[in-house]
Structure 1
Amino acid sequence: MGTYQHAESVHLHGENHLRVVSGSYDTPGEAIADFERLYGDAVRPGPPPPTDTEQQAAQALAALSPGETASTADTPVEPPTAKTELVPVYAADPGDHEALLEKFLKEQGEWEKYRTWEDSTTVASHESPTLRAIFDHDTEGRETKWTFAAYETPVSDRLWHGTATASTPTAIVNALLDAVATERARGRGLSTSSTETAITEATSPLADAEWKHTIDGRYITWEAPGPQEGGVQFDAFAAQKADSPLPTWTTWGGHAVHQPARALQLSANAPAVLVQYITFEMAEGQGTRLVRPATPDSPTLRTTPAPAPVAASPPAAPLPGRSR
């Protein structure tokens, strides 16, 4: 929420250059009151969670005592090679989104690719045309890489929409692409906002995998078991309005649902079967993550006169695989 000098107060949604104005107010007092009404239960006090790099640095420094840190020599050693570990899909590296787009268009003959006047954007459109995917070639990290939209007819208002960040593992995005390529994942018939049965159907893979299920006000959350952070959240408030700027479904990995390292989000009216494709991949899928060595200036890569070198804490063990 912000107030422009000599201008109106606004609510902003999104990050960086992708943010949009979701509401405007005549006075700051009105903006503050409405912000508290809409998002008060989602606000969490305190500093933001540390990044992966900050966590790795803290672990490395904690492994060395003050005496060992002072006696560290300046002679560098050969850095260890990067290693690949198997992890749950929501904790995996993003993968090659460009290759995923090309693979989808090659395998789905009903979809065509269009380049816009901006070289950084590609539009994939269904022949109907009631389904569309917009791909941004330039975005990175937590910026939106994919934008999806579905329409009941070629001339109707938007039925549902979704986004995926550049940091989202390609296997999760591929699950959504597989869903929109099927006839069952189109239309309004299985709206997730209509019945409790539809929500149960959409999240059945998470229940089968024994994910932790909690209800907190308007939010229903399923959290992954094990050391890797990830989950799925349903927002009952956002589900009541098809045109709400807030996502109804959020699948996330890393940190927390309100500040995820990677996220795929869907609006109200997203078909339950489409959500089920994604939750199945979240519950059963696996991917790889590259564990990179510390930089040459890191204390973990210097030699000491101690009899045995001190190593940083090993990474957490991955979850055991599940049959698919």
Structure 2
Amino acid sequence: MRHANREEHLHAHDGWTTVAVGTYRDGKSVYFHGEDYLRQEVTDYESEAEAVADFQRQHSVAVRPGPAPLTDSERAAAEVLTTPLSTGPAPTPAQSVALSQPAPEMVPGYATDPGDHEALLVDFFSRHEEWEKWRPHDETTVASHESLTLRVEFLHEALHGDDAWTIAAYESPVGERLWHATATPTTPVEIMRVLLDSLSTEDSCGQGNHTPVKEEDLAEASRPLDGAGWPLKVGARLIDWTAPTPDSAAGLRFDTLVKQGSVLLAWTVWGGNTADSPTWAIRLSPHARTALIQDITFELAHGHGHRQARSVATAPRLQTQASVASPPVSAPRTAPRH
């Protein structure tokens, strides 16, 4: 917060960042907000007295005399400027200067980063030759199963609020649609992989629930969650299973008021924030196969993966050894069928 061309009279912390008031050598008094590269001049004053009085009025007991303590970045910069140049040998290539990057952290599968859905689509076609690929236009790729009873559409560069994946199952190549599903582009890639792989099982083609969803169907779909101790809440309309964590940041929901055969989506598998406004969601219509939903909930309950920790601004340092790549995300697992 120091500067050679100005004097800082007072500083304070406004609950979010550091603020200060000071006067340049040319007599201009200014209110400063923020730290390091985020710092901005917010208000100019006619005089130093006016600036100091207004600063004390805004921040009262939080006001401290003089300039604010140096931030880590300012302290590092000061050390670089005051440290004599080294006469030793230049760093080897393995000692290149780099910013410290936090290592990815291991988290439940529903809390991982979304991952690369484009790469997932490529991998899906390479592992499942029974699906035919065609691209009707630049925005969409379509996967059609050889039975002509399953169809998957992927929307490239889906925007926030759009569905990246749309899935539909039909009774026969010329029959009625049995069920459909959607998935957001923020869905963790390993959970999406489980869904796509489940579509490719032998009992997927032309399959769906032809009768209203019964208690047995709910029990089958939620069995992995029940076994993992996910709490169940039954309301007048909604049936919810939520993660047994303080923030309950994932779950399975069934809307009992959605009519069978409706175009509306009755099942929601979600993660992050709340069920009503999730970070990601897979939604399925009432006739979706409960075995497929069980596959997804198994991954929801037992899957794990990596999430990139938030970057923390640190001083440049010598990286004395080569970076070690993080281990790959664990391979998807298929839920046991009961």
Which TM bucket (shorter chain)? 0.5 to 0.7
Match in the other structure for 2:9: none
TM-score of the aligned structures, taking structure 2 as reference length: 0.64
Whichever of the two has the greater Rg, that structure is 2
1:285 matched to which residue of 2?
Answer: 303
Which residue number in structure 1 is paired with residue 68 of structure 2?
A: 71
Match of 1:94 in 2: 114
Counting aligned pairs with the same residue, the percent is 42
Residues 1:230 and 2:227 aligned together:
no
Which amino acid in 2 is paired with 1:234?
A: F
Whole-angstrom CA distance in 1 between matches of 2:186 and 2:159: 7
Tell me which residue corresponds to 1:129. 148
1:192 touches 1:198 (CA, 8 Å); kept in 2? no
> Where does the alignment leave 5 or more consecutive residues of structure 1 unmatched?
1-57, 303-321
Residue aligned with 1:95, SS? coil
Superposition pairs for residues 1-324 of structure 1, below 5 Å? 66=62, 71-73=68-70, 75=74, 77=76, 80-116=100-136, 118-188=137-207, 190=209, 193-227=212-246, 229-238=249-258, 240-245=259-264, 247-294=265-312
Cα 1:174–1:191 shift into 2, 3 Å: farther
Q: 1:153, 1:192 → 2: CA distance?
A: 17
| Structure with greater helix percent | 1
> Aligned Cα RMSD in Å?
2.9
Q: Is the partner of 2:300 in helix, strand or coil?
A: helix
Report the residue type matching 1:127 in the other structure. E
SS of the counterpart of 1:276? helix
Distance 1:255 1:261 in 2: 6
Distance 1:183-1:255 versus aligned 2 partners, 3 A rule: same
Residues 150-189 of structure 1 show CA distances to partners (whole Å, capped at 9, x for unaligned) of: 0001112211010111100011111111111012234445
Q: Cα 1:119–1:128, aligned 2, differ >3 Å: closer, same or farther?
A: same
Gaps (5+ residues) in structure 2?
1-13, 18-60, 78-98, 316-332
Matches of 1:192 and 1:149, distance apart in 2: 18
Structure 1 residues 71 and 260: CA distance shift in structure 2, 3 A: same
Larger RCO, structures 1/2 (Cα 8 Å, 6+ apart)? 1
What is the deviation of 1:143?
A: 2.6
**Matched position secondary structure for 2:172:** coil
CA 1:80 to 1:121, structure 2 compared with 1: closer, same or farther past 3 Å?
A: same
Cα displacement string for residues 77-105 of structure 1 (whole angstroms, at most 9, x for unaligned residues): 59642331011111110111111111111
Aligned-partner SS, 1:105: helix
Contact 2:267 2:285 in 1 (8 A): yes
TM superposition shift of 1:227: 4.2
Query: Which residue of structure 2 aligns with residue 32 of structure 1?
Result: none
The number of residue pairs the alignment matches comes to 236
Greater shift, 132-141 or 215-224, is seen at 132-141
